[in-house]
Amino acid sequence: MNVFIVLAHAEPRSFNGALFQTAHDTLRAAGHAVMVSDLYAMKFDPVSDRRNFTTVKNPDYFKQQIEEMHATEVGGFAPDVEAELRKLEACDLMVWQFPLWWFGLPGILKGWADRVFAMGRTYGGERFYENGVFKGKRALLSVTTGGPEAVYQKGGWNGDIHAILRPIQRGILRFTGWNVLRPNLVYAPVRISDEERQASLNAWAERLRNIESEKSFDVGEY
Ligand SMILES: Cc1cc2nc3c(=O)[nH]c(=O)nc-3n(C[C@H](O)[C@H](O)[C@H](O)COP(=O)(O)OP(=O)(O)OC[C@H]3O[C@@H](n4cnc5c(N)ncnc54)[C@H](O)[C@@H]3O)c2cc1C
């Protein structure tokens, strides 16, 4: 497989860094080709505006989706966006490695999605959900939290983690056609022992060794 891993953590020695390195090394060792976007290391610019484009459809009024459709037609995406689009298009499996921030994506990863998941190129026309542009490809979120598992249950203190991830898994990934795999969740890596952290890295590696045969996960509805 061609695998694309996106990392959103500013500290390479963080637990997110360790999960990322584990995925990278395990998938490479299993014979897969691995592409990477380490967003902080790349200093990826997450601000979405005219900088997304080398072309201009309407110079008087900026409407992002109009410019995206035009850039799709004429090849007008800025080089940093175009490079990411090509990784999306080239991969069979995409993994996003990130810490949960305010019940969502860290800004740098949200901005990456805002800029890269462009209308025309990644969705639009009749191409949504089952008929989405990325139909047949698979995507997986690998997420760490500050809170322990007990607070991320339905009806619990913070609520169901799958409901929290639904805007990402349904609103971005399923919407554009990806088959979503069950998320890799590591709760509160700060609060657990070194042995427990090592065990979760081992479990992640073990899962990735067999990822090719894994079935999709139902991301649920609202
Ligand atoms: C802006 C912001 C918003 C947030 N919002 C939320 C929220 O909504 N909900 C929530 O639950 N949390 C939230 N948090 C907390 C955040 O999700 C956690 O701090 C984060 O997930 C922890 O992951 P980390 O990689 O940063 O951990 P780290 O602190 O980097 O790592 C934890 C421990 O793992 C150790 N470690 C690193 N590598 C290894 C290795 N190879 N083997 C064993 N141990 C290792 C580290 O030394 C450290 O002791 C938020 C934090 C911020 C800054």
On whether the CB atoms of residues 36 and 108 are closer than 8 A, the answer is no
| Ligand 1 atom having least distance to the Cα of 189 | 32
Q: What is the pTM of this model?
A: 0.98
Ligand 1 neighbour 100 (Cβ under 6 A): yes
Q: Does ligand 1 lie within 6 Å of residue 144's CB atom?
A: yes
Q: Is 197 in the pocket of ligand 1 (CB under 6 A)?
A: yes
pLDDT of 209: 98
Backbone angles phi, psi at 185, to 5 degrees: -115, 120
- Tell me what pLDDT residue 222 has: 86
Q: From CA 94, how far away is CA 215, in angstroms rounded?
A: 15
What are the helix (H) ranges across 48-193? 64-74, 79-90, 107-116, 161-168
Beta-bridge partners for 101: 104
Compute φ and ψ for 144, nearest 5 degrees: -110, 155
**pLDDT reported for residue 130:** 97
pLDDT tens for the 222 residues of the chain, in order: 999 999 999 999 999 999 999 999 999 999 999 999 999 999 999 999 999 999 999 999 999 999 999 999 999 999 999 999 999 999 999 999 999 999 999 999 999 999 999 999 999 999 999 999 999 999 999 999 999 999 999 999 999 999 999 999 999 999 999 999 999 999 999 999 999 999 999 999 999 999 999 999 999 998
Question: CB-based burial of residue 133 (10 Å sphere; 0-12 exposed, 13-18 middle, 19+ buried)?
Answer: buried
Quick one: pLDDT at residue 63? 98
Q: Is the CB of 185 under 6 A from ligand 1?
A: no
Q: CB–CB of 168/105 below 8 Å?
A: yes
Q: Do 134 and 216 meet the contact criterion of CB atoms below 8 Å apart?
A: no
pLDDT number for residue 178: 98
Q: What span, in angstroms and rounded, lies between the C-alpha atoms of 220 and 222?
A: 7
